[in-house]
Amino acid sequence: MIKKVTKIGNSQGIIFDSTLMEMAHLKVNDEVNVTVHEGGSVILTPVRPEISPDMVSEVIRKTMKDYSKTMKNLA
């Protein structure tokens, strides 16, 4: 896929169309790490937050509390 660097305000940038956003699994306001290699290759890597086991446990506890009646009916 070829993209053109264009002027955006006082800066330059590349527009990510919806197809590219979907292919890269990105959405507006996602952060990316930019790495520039010898020869000028630019690599963009999405920054994905790490989810701790404690955070997962808390979400499960909250879900079970909020939906306890539904969970009992499903059991």
CATH class of 6-74: mainly beta
Q: Where are the beta strands (DSSP E) in the chain?
A: 6-8, 11-13, 32-36, 42-46
Residue 49 in this model has a pLDDT that exceeds 90? no
Taking the C-alpha atoms of residue 1 and residue 63, their distance in angstroms, rounded to an integer, is 42
Is residue 32 scored above 90 in pLDDT?
yes
Mean pLDDT for 30-53 is 93
Name the region of 29 (left: φ>0; alpha: ψ -120 to 50; beta: rest): left
What's the pTM?
Answer: 0.57
Contact 25, 46 (CB under 8 A): yes
pLDDT value at residue 50 = 86
Domain spans in the chain, listed from the N-terminal domain onward: 6-74
Percent of the chain with pLDDT over 90: 81
Spatial distance between the Cα atoms of 53 and 25, rounded to a whole number of angstroms = 24
